[in-house]
């Protein structure tokens, strides 16, 4: 364990704070919270987990503006981070993989005939990240790519049926604060004991006895 941890940083850290989310496919936005416990196995590498929960509001689909009022999202990911520098301001890149839960959605249709297939449930996803550590403050952007959870909207326009899928992948912009994981304090230098006085030359000792 002594060799499998960061040399210059405390090995255990937790990043926690608030986040804002945005789904570009529907223009839906919201807010949430995120917690990331990590272990630094090297000064430049950390591994751990990511837990995020968010609530989104608004958004619409298609030319008929089929609206979605509420969507609740939660994710549980395993992740790794790479820190290329050792300074106080540390840019980093991360990558997470795990499960996303879409908890609830309310959908209302537009003026024309339309139906919506909701994909509520648990889905696999990946999460590439970019960020920077500014002392205890951390700023980051994450793209949450949820696989197989598209919303399908079927409409009848001019007597012709149309079907369009909309991704539920979303961006997270977060501001968190670090607990632990700071730079290790340097040990105080050990002062060497004073050198013993050199013995007098043999000629000087003989002269003193005469």
Query: CA nearest 178: which of 16, 48, 42, 45?
Result: 16
pLDDT at residue number 116: 58
Tell me what the pLDDT averaged over the chain comes to.
Answer: 82
The pLDDT value recorded for residue 184 is 80
**pLDDT tens digits, one per residue of 85-120:** 988 899 999 999 999 998 866 566 655 555 555 657
Q: Reply yes or no on whether the pLDDT at 172 is more than 90.
A: yes
Nearest to 171 by CA among 30, 59, 18, 16: 30
Q: Is the pLDDT of residue 64 over 70?
A: no
DSSP secondary structure of 47-89: EEEEEEEEEEE--EETTTTEEEEEEEEEEEEEEEEE----SSE
Sorting pLDDT into bands at 50, 70 and 90, what band is 181? confident
The structure tokens listed for 11 are 């090995």
Q: Are the C-beta atoms of 36 and 50 separated by less than 8 Å?
A: yes
What pLDDT does 23 receive?
A: 87
For 68, the token pair is 């979605």
- Model pLDDT, residue 78: 98
Whether residue 210 is predicted with pLDDT greater than 50 in this model: the reply is no
Confidence of residue 84 (pLDDT cuts 50, 70, 90): very high
Distance CA 200, CA 204 (A): 7
pLDDT of amino acid 115: 55
- pTM of the shown model: 0.76
**What per-residue confidence (pLDDT) applies to 67?**
67
Beta bridge partners of 47: 39, 80
Where is pLDDT greater, at 173 or 165? Answer: 173
Q: Identify the three-state secondary structure at position 208.
A: helix
Stronger pLDDT, 4 or 118, i.e. the higher one: 4
Which CATH architecture describes the domain 12-180?
Beta Barrel (2.40)
What pLDDT score does 30 carry? 92
CB atoms within 10 A of CB 139: 14
User: Does the pLDDT at position 200 exceed 90?
Assistant: no
Beta strands in 63-191 (DSSP E): 66-82, 89-108, 114-117, 121-134, 137-146, 151-157, 160-166, 170-180
In the prediction, which pLDDT does 57 show? 84
Which of 93, 82, 83, 78 is closest to 48 using CA atoms? Answer: 78
Which carries the bigger pLDDT value, residue 149 or residue 127?
Answer: 127
Whether the CA torsion 95, 176, 48, 147 is positive or negative: it is negative
């Amino acid at each position: 364990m002594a060799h499998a941890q960061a040399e210059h940083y405390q090995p255990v850290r937790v990043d926690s704070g608030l986040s804002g989310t945005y789904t570009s496919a529907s223009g839906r936005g919201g807010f949430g919270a995120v917690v990331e416990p990590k272990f630094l196995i090297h000064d430049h590498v950390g591994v751990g987990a990511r837990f995020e929960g968010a609530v989104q509001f608004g958004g619409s689909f298609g030319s008929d503006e089929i609206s979605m009022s509420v969507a609740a999202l939660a994710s549980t990911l395993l992740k790794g981070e790479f820190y290329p520098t050792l300074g106080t301001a540390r840019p980093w890149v991360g990558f997470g993989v795990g499960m996303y839960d879409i908890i609830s959605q309310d959908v209302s249709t537009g003026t024309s005939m339309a139906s919506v297939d909701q994909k509520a449930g648990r889905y696999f996803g990946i999460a590439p990240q970019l960020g920077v550590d500014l002392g205890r403050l951390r700023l980051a952007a994450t793209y949450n790519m949820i696989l197989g959870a598209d919303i399908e909207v079927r409409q009848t326009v001019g007597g012709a049926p149309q079907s369009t899928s909309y991704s539920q992948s979303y961006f997270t912009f977060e501001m968190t604060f670090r607990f632990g994981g700071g730079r290790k304090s340097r040990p105080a230098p050990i002062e060497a004991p004073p050198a013993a006085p050199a013995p007098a030359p043999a000629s000087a000792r003989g002269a003193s006895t005469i």
